[in-house]
Amino acid sequence: MWAGRGFEPDGYGCKARPLRTRPPSGARGVRPALSHPLIHTLITYTWPHRATSPTSSDKTLAYIRPLSPLYQTTASSEPGRLLSSPVSGQASPAFLSGQERMKSLSYNGGRTRRSFRGAFFVLDIICYILLGAQCVQQAKSDCLDVSKLITLPEDTPLGSLILNTTVDLLSLKTSSSVDSGLVEVVNTSLGLSVRLARAVDAETIRNAFKRFPVFCANTATDVTTSTEIRLIIQDVNEFAPVFPQSEYSVNISESTVPQSIVFTFKTPANGAYDRDITSDTIGYTFGGGNTDGFFSITPEGNILLNNTLDYEKDASIFILTVDATEQGTVEHLSTPTTLTIHVEDADDENPVFGSSFYTLTLPEGVYDGSQVYPTSPLISAQDGDRVLNESIVFSIDESSVVLYNNLFSITPTGNFTVSGRLFIGTYSVNIRASQTDRPRERYAVAVVLVNVTDVNDHAPVMGAAAYNVTITEGVRPGFTLLTVTADDSDQGDNAVFHFELDDPSNTFAVVSNGRQGEIQLMNPVDREVKEIYVFQVSAVESRTSQQFRSQPSQVLVRVLDKNDNSPVFQKDSYEFDVPRTALRGFQIGQVGGHLQTWFQIGQVSIRYRTWFQIGQVSIRYRT
């Protein structure tokens, strides 16, 4: 474009301004507005016709620096400064101040260098012609250099300069509508300035590509041209990822297989998203709560179960913090959310009895099954899965059914009954508690110990119906003269008894020792007083209410004599007469006596002149 004070060839209506001799540093592919090859060659030299000052009214010819529409220009917040980014890798020029302009060609029609006068005169004419033609073409397209493709970050502050350019000192005007006041176009004496008039938001604006038409009027030629400013609203990474919900919750079964996906953030309903219009890739990590390592999370947002769950032993609620983080940005903005995992009870536990063993005590006898007998403790069971808590039914285990031939039975609710004869002893009955929905898979077994006790239906029985015994007189009291026995067919307390005597003489007593009784002498006996004693002994139950008594046994005691007395004559003295003629063997008389013992003395013979101390016997001879 034209930039600066200039020169106007007659008849063309084109004002020339000083030209740049070269593009700014770093710019490539920039062509001057005078693109004719010959002029491009000519203007590389300086024509020293007549020196003039920069403020002279003489016309000066210089390079024209266009702003090529091939460049994208990025607005800067610095007023008066325009930063440009090239399209397709080309660098774009920047605006330069007036001091940067370099005059490369001057023509003032005055003083000349004589050595080059002829040659440069021809070149002057050619340059003049070509320059005029170029100016005519320029006058027809005053707005071409205004056409821009500008990238505007959405966080650009209000009032920031978007575009600053000049259009050959022509009057400018824009269309009456400038996209609801988004930008402000200011027409100054130096050209066109475009500033941001309203905040932009790439996320809410309907169309990120804006077109603003610009009309340029050439007052000298009355030619009006138009172009447009094309504005692209550039998204800025200003928002962290957002979860659709403030928190999440999921229920899983405790029977979930490890490495199963229990929750995912990959679905639109759960997954975090980026509010920026240019959405970034989002990755997921745990921010806390997974201290036991039961779960893991993939970058895509799948949460997997690592370990086997046990509702009855482990925690039933896990509260996890999940972070959604941008993956493709420098900021790595992140947002947390909460995922609560509720573990549901699964049917993986068998029923549990209230006790492993139950006891029941019953008397021996016959039972008809009509009566319920409570055990200790009462039979009870519940589902091992405490939340599911399926209904439980009871039954006799098949092993006990076969063993006892249906002697025992139990109702579905746990009432224990007996059908048949129970003998004294202990029965071990296996009972089963089963879930109603899965009786073959989910059951437990416990034991009922049935203790059958004795019924006191027998009296003691003596070991013998009669006992005969002899005793010598003179035996001291306490002597055991006889041991008797008895038995009871009952058991336990019903078979405990003692012995009793029925002795009118109170001479004897019995001492009980279990199932034996010792009959002892209580008082001395004397045959000379009483020779025979007869009495009865019986066994009597000790610990029953009935106190059954055995049939009595008879005991006969005969007292034997002891040689404990000397013979006694009937008289203190005897007197006999013996004739002198009596021969040997003659019976001179008889003496009488007795012993206080029980035996026969016989006849006492007295020999002649024989003395014996039985008494005193006097013998007198008869004459």
Alpha-carbon gap, residue 428 to 419, rounded angstroms: 16
124 three-state secondary structure: helix
Backbone angles phi, psi at 344, to 5 degrees: -95, 145
Which tokens in the block code for residue 79? 């007023």
User: What is the reported pLDDT for 400?
Assistant: 94
Alpha-carbon gap, residue 155 to 178, rounded angstroms: 20
Backbone angles phi, psi at 118, to 5 degrees: -65, -45
Alpha-carbon gap, residue 103 to 82, rounded angstroms: 24
Question: Mean pLDDT in each 10-residue stretch from start to end of the chain (623 residues)?
Answer: 35 36 38 42 40 34 29 36 33 33 34 45 56 47 62 85 64 52 73 79 76 70 73 85 94 93 94 83 94 94 94 90 92 94 90 96 93 95 88 95 94 95 95 94 96 93 96 93 95 93 96 96 92 97 94 96 72 80 81 51 42 48 52
User: What is the reported pLDDT for 523?
Assistant: 94
Task: Measure the N-to-C terminal CA separation of the chain; round to a whole number of Å.
Answer: 222
User: What is the reported pLDDT for 562?
Assistant: 80
CATH fold of 247-344 reads Immunoglobulin-like (2.60.40)
- Return the amino acid letter for 420: G
Which tokens in the block code for residue 35? 């693109």
Q: Which CATH architecture has domain 352-453?
A: Sandwich (2.60)
CA nearest 393: which of 379, 405, 406, 403? 379
Q: If 0-12 CB within 10 Å is exposed, 13-18 middle and 19+ buried, where does residue 507 land? A: middle
Calculate ∠ Cα 510-513-518, nearest 5°: 35
Whether this model's pTM surpasses 0.75: no
329 three-state secondary structure: coil
Q: Which residues of 545-584 are buried (b: 16+ CB within 10 A; e: fewer)?
A: eeebebebbebebebebeeeeeeebeeeebeeeeeeeeee
User: What is the reported pLDDT for 518?
Assistant: 97
* Cis before 377 (ω within 30): yes
For residue 450, list its beta bridge partners. 360, 427
Neighbours of 5 (CB within 10 A): 19
Pairing relationship of beta strands 295-297 and 334-344 according to DSSP bridges: unpaired
Which tokens in the block code for residue 611? 């003395």
Alpha-carbon gap, residue 363 to 605, rounded angstroms: 82
- The string of DSSP codes covering 515-561 is TEEEEEE-S---TTT--EEEEEEEEEESSSSS--BPPPEEEEEEEEP
Beta carbons of 555 and 504 less than 8 angstroms apart: no
CA dist list (Å): 305 to 240, 249, 338: 28, 15, 17
CA nearest 597: which of 525, 528, 526? 528
Beta carbons of 65 and 7 less than 8 angstroms apart: no
Q: What is the DSSP letter of 154?
A: T
Alpha-carbon gap, residue 185 to 162, rounded angstroms: 10
Q: Which CATH architecture has domain 461-560?
A: Sandwich (2.60)
48 three-state secondary structure: coil
Alpha-carbon gap, residue 80 to 66, rounded angstroms: 18
For residue 85, list its beta bridge partners. 72
Beta carbons of 495 and 461 less than 8 angstroms apart: no
Element (H, E) at 129: helix 117-139
User: What is the reported pLDDT for 20?
Assistant: 36
CA dist list (Å): 548 to 74, 117, 365, 456, 488: 124, 171, 20, 9, 10
CA nearest 39: which of 127, 120, 128? 127
Alpha-carbon gap, residue 368 to 422, rounded angstroms: 11
Distance of CA 13 to the CA centre of its chain: 90
Q: Which residues contact 356 (CB under 8 A, 6 or more apart)?
A: 446, 447
Alpha-carbon gap, residue 416 to 367, rounded angstroms: 12
Alpha-carbon gap, residue 129 to 561, rounded angstroms: 193
Domain extents for the chain? 247-344, 352-453, 461-560, 563-623
Beta carbons of 429 and 418 less than 8 angstroms apart: no
Sequence length of the chain is 623
Neighbours of 100 (CB within 10 A): 10
- Evaluate whether 247-344 and 352-453 have a shared fold: yes
Which tokens in the block code for residue 351? 């029923």
Alpha-carbon gap, residue 428 to 239, rounded angstroms: 75
